[in-house]
Amino acid sequence: MSDTLVERERRLQTGPDAQIDVLVSEVGPRDGLQNTKQFMPTADKQRWISAAAAAGLREIEVCSFVPPKLIPQMIDAEEVVRHALSLPGLNVAVLAPNIKGGERAIASGAHKITLPISVSRGHSLSNVRKTTEAVIEEARALCVLRDALPVEQRPRIEAGLSTVFGCTIEGRVSEEQVVRDAVACVEAGCDEVGLADTTGMANPTQIRRVFRKVRAAIGDRLGGAHLHNTRGFGLANVVAALEEDVRTFDSSLAGLGGCPFAPGATGNIVTEDLVFMLEEMGLRTGIDIDRLLAIRELLRQSIPAEPLHGYLPALSGPARARMGAG
């Protein structure tokens, strides 16, 4: 029997074996694979998700419900979700770019659905062929579908505000517009609003300022941070967000990832490095780093042409010793 949202959240926060300070949400199977040239076979995706859950990851964005013609990597989305739902305790997250994707996501039984909503009009048109306002209307329609379900079957709906910190198509993004869009998403019924640096253009000062402004506007509806490492500022941005009390971070194994519709953007922050840094800072993630590192071998074998990123995997001996929080 699938547990209710409330039960899942309680377990995330306070379960006896689940004491964590920061929720690391693995997005590699979605953000990573949407951008790889090689197709990862379904069985390998399932092995990856199982291994990540076994390593202690509590939330994994396992796929996106997009037209397979557009992103063939996601052709097996339903099958991948079915497998992920069989793993006890895992919060199964998916991405849906429109109402049709949202309907497929609801039918799949996923626990959390993220609808990407670009603050930049240029990126919105490039990514989903609709204006920001039109996508917020889709979010409203999706929330109506959610509310028609029995409470225990309702997925959590996240507005994933994208290109919040800069756009490779439009350049600067207005912070006032970010706040207005965040408020509009909450008014549309979204359970939470995450802020995404889709292009990896954010800097730590900006992260602090924007998270603070959005929190002032929508309070505890503010969700996590989705960061890319295009300029190498990713982990610095994590620390800045931690200082603003952000406690959920998306990241991807080996730093795979990137939006095919945002030219020049590169991969997500690297899960291995993120977990290592958080644990070194004394923040518990519940993730076993050695088991996490071992999953890289699966990527190496399944999609050998993809470059695998990360500092931690290259370290050895004293450089890798755990210094702890001190």
Q: Which residues in this chain contact ligand COA in the complex, by CB under 6 A?
A: 34, 64-67, 70-71, 95, 97-98, 100-101, 104, 116, 127-129, 259, 261
| Residue 195 contact partner, candidates ligand COA, Zn ion, none, CB within 5 to 8 A by sort of partner | none
Please identify, using beta-carbon distances, which residue of 91 and 162 lies nearer to Zn ion.
162
Shortest distance in whole angstroms from residue 257 CB to Zn ion:
6
Q: What is the dihedral of CA 203, 205, 208, 212, to 10 degrees?
A: -120
| Residue 70 contact partner, candidates ligand COA, Zn ion, none, CB within 5 to 8 A by sort of partner | ligand COA
- In this structure, what token pair is assigned to residue 208? 């602090």
| Residue 116 contact partner, candidates ligand COA, Zn ion, none, CB within 5 to 8 A by sort of partner | ligand COA
Please identify, using beta-carbon distances, which residue of 55 and 74 lies nearer to ligand COA.
74
Please identify, using beta-carbon distances, which residue of 234 and 279 lies nearer to Zn ion.
234
Q: Report whether 197 contacts 160 (CB < 8 A).
A: no
Shortest distance in whole angstroms from residue 135 CB to Zn ion:
16
Q: Report whether 300 contacts 258 (CB < 8 A).
A: no
For residue 260, report the phi and psi dihedrals to the nearest 5 degrees. -65, -15
User: Catalytic: which of 63, 143, 167, 259?
Assistant: 259
Shortest distance in whole angstroms from residue 18 CB to Zn ion:
26
Shortest distance in whole angstroms from residue 72 CB to ligand COA:
12
| Residue 97 contact partner, candidates ligand COA, Zn ion, none, CB within 5 to 8 A by sort of partner | ligand COA
One-character DSSP codes across 260-302: TTSTT--PBPBHHHHHHHHHHTT------HHHHHHTHHHHHHH
| Residue 310 contact partner, candidates Zn ion, ligand COA, none, CB within 5 to 8 A by sort of partner | none
Name the residue with tokens 């998700």: 49
Shortest distance in whole angstroms from residue 212 CB to ligand COA:
25
Please identify, using beta-carbon distances, which residue of 27 and 184 lies nearer to Zn ion.
27
Please identify, using beta-carbon distances, which residue of 101 and 310 lies nearer to ligand COA.
101
Q: For residue 259, indicate whether it is catalytic.
A: yes
- Strand, helix or coil for residue 25: strand
Eight-state DSSP code of residue 30: I
**Residues engaged in binding Zn ion (CB under 5 A):** 31
Shortest distance in whole angstroms from residue 107 CB to ligand COA:
11
φ/ψ bin of 310: left (φ > 0), alpha (ψ from -120 to 50), beta (otherwise) = left
| Residue 156 contact partner, candidates Zn ion, ligand COA, none, CB within 5 to 8 A by sort of partner | none
Please identify, using beta-carbon distances, which residue of 32 and 97 lies nearer to ligand COA.
97
Q: How far is CA 280 from CA 2, 24, 152, 288, 321, in A?
A: 34, 15, 37, 13, 10
Given 3-state DSSP classes, what are the helix, strand and coil percentages for the chain, each rounded to the nearest 5? 45, 15, 35
Q: b/e string for 261-284 if b means 16 or more Cβ within 10 A?
A: bbeebbbbbbbbbbbbbbbeeeee
Q: Which residues are the active-site residues?
A: 259
